[in-house]
Amino acid sequence: MVLSAASFCMMTVFVKLAGETLPTIQIVFVRGLFTLALTWIFIYRKKIKPFGKHKKLLAARGLAGTVALFLVYESINRFPLSEATVIQYLYPLFTAVFAVLLLSEPITKNIIIGLCSGFFGVYCLLDFPIVSQNSIDIMSLILAVSGSILTGLAYVLVKKATNLNEHPLVVMFFFPLFTVPVFLPFIFSNWNTPSIKEWSYLILVGIFTQLGQLFLTYGYKELPATKAAPISYVQVLFATIIGIFFFDEIIDINFIIGSVIVLFSIKMVISNEFSKK
């Protein structure tokens, strides 16, 4: 699980480096091609029917994941790495909300308190805009939070699809199956021919994404979920350290307090989910 968090953190690092000179659409498109090819190879070798039985559900998962990925990558390029990572990690709260709406799971006091405290934590780490003298790009914040919301939706759709016995590789396959054609029309007007260094960034985004998913899968296999899930939040610590040393980001007391509040709110929701199991 630590290796998974480290891999996903390195993915965000190379997304940020690539985003200094390349448009987000191009980064998402190239990653989609990489994932599409790799997932297809696994499906072909295992002789699995690639399009599943519940096509509308799988299509919804693919579309939600595609838009979420773009928004998350865009927020990484708009915010300091540490802040973007914390905002992205609101997704377990939204996963719980969508589980109530789509999976008929009961809403609890922990979910409501977790949502409220999670948003307050983000408000705190952004240095209390509006009431203080600090300003913030509202559109960038909307993009970042929307990415977290759609990530939560995508995860619930994954759960719903696997509950209906769709093969995990098929569920994974529908993600890039939508990413590539959705962004293809925009590529021609947004394409910047990458240099060798930029191609290396794009390839490393794909490699670390796959490593993160691989380590995550084995982590949940080897550890009880109650132990595995909280370990993944070490990515926030990794992102903070990398942001300080590689991107000259400044970490203040409001960021630390806000991050602690966000992680506490997520722990409340996760503990609630595990207690039901």
Q: Where are the domains of the chain?
A: 2-276
Contact 17, 198 (CB under 8 A): no
Neighbours of 138 (CB within 10 A): 10
Distance CA 236, CA 245 (A): 14
What is the pLDDT at residue 189?
85
Burial call 90-99: b when 16+ CB within 10 Å, e when fewer:
bbbbbbbbbb
What is the pLDDT at residue 170?
87
Distance CA 30, CA 14 (A): 13
pLDDT in tens, the chain (277 residues): 888 889 989 999 999 999 999 999 999 999 999 989 988 998 999 888 888 888 999 999 999 999 999 999 999 999 888 888 888 888 878 888 888 888 777 777 877 888 788 888 888 877 766 555 566 778 888 999 999 999 889 888 888 888 888 888 888 888 889 999 999 999 988 889 999 999 999 999 989 988 887 787 677 667 665 555 566 777 888 888 898 888 888 888 888 888 888 888 877 776 655 555 5
Distance CA 96, CA 266 (A): 10
Count of residues in the chain: 277
Alpha helices in 131-195 (DSSP H): 138-163, 168-190
Contact 103, 160 (CB under 8 A): yes
